[in-house]
Structure formats: C-alpha cells, structure tokens
C-alpha cells in the first residue's frame, strides 16, 4: 500500500479526540506546559505503523513522534426484531513532535 489516501480512511473527530489534539486533555507526562498533540484516524485494517507514519507525514506535512494502533471491535445492535453487528475497524492515534504545526480540520 503506497497510496496515503488508501491508508488514512478518515479523521475521527469526537470530544475526546478533539481534546487530545488541542492539548486540553489530561497529560500523563507530568511536564508543565507540554502539549501532547494526539490525532486520531481511521486507517486501513492491514496498514502497519510504519505505513501510517509515512502517510500522515506525506499528507499533512508534519513530523510524527509515535503511532499507536488498535482494533475497534464490532458491537451488537438491535433494530426492532433484527439483530446484527456494527462494523469492525482499525484506529490509529498519531502523536506529533512539538516542532510540527497543527493539522487543520481538527
């Protein structure tokens, strides 16, 4: 997979991801004044961390410090008498270096 548009499916913008992207979330580092900018994306299920890093750096012209990935499991949902599952997808949380500019759209 060489095309970055195939690796990064969409940004995930929720209240929690917005707080992590803008440095208003709780900081586990313990250093005052340090802003941890974590951006969350839905990625291709077979993409690995190296491909995700290269795709984000190429698409948004930033420098990536860390990439964390996780699989979001399907959940059981019921609509009237039908029982089914939501879809399963892969989520990547990308941390930018302090020198990188913020990604627009978050």
Domains of the chain: 4-96 (3.30.70.330)
pTM score: 0.86
Q: What is the mean pLDDT of residues 14-21?
A: 90
| 21-25, 68-72, 77-81, 94-98: range with lowest mean pLDDT | 21-25
| The pLDDT of residue 50 | 97
φ, ψ dihedrals at 60, nearest 5°: -110, 0
The reported pLDDT for the residue numbered 66 is 96
The pLDDT tens digits for 27-85 are: 555 565 566 789 999 999 999 999 999 999 999 999 999 999 999 999 999 999 999 99
| pLDDT for residue 13 | 93
C-alpha span between 36 and 24 (Å, rounded): 9
Contacts of residue 87, Cβ cutoff 8 Å, sequence gap at least 6: 74
With contact defined as beta carbons under 8 Å apart, do 65 and 10 qualify?
Answer: no
Cα 6 to Cα 4: distance, rounded to the nearest angstrom: 5
CA distance 70 to 90: 6
């Amino acid at each position: 997979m060489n095309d970055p548009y195939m690796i990064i499916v969409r940004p995930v913008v929720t209240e929690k991801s917005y707080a992590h992207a803008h440095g208003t979330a709780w900081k586990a580092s313990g250093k005052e004044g340090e802003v941890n900018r974590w951006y969350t994306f839905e990625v291709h299920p077979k993409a690995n961390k190296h491909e995700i890093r290269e795709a984000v750096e190429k698409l948004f012209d930033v420098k990536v410090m860390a990439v964390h990935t996780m699989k979001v499991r399907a959940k059981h949902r019921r609509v009237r008498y039908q029982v089914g599952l939501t879809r399963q997808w892969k989520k990547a949380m990308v941390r930018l270096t302090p020198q990188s500019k913020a990604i627009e759209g978050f």
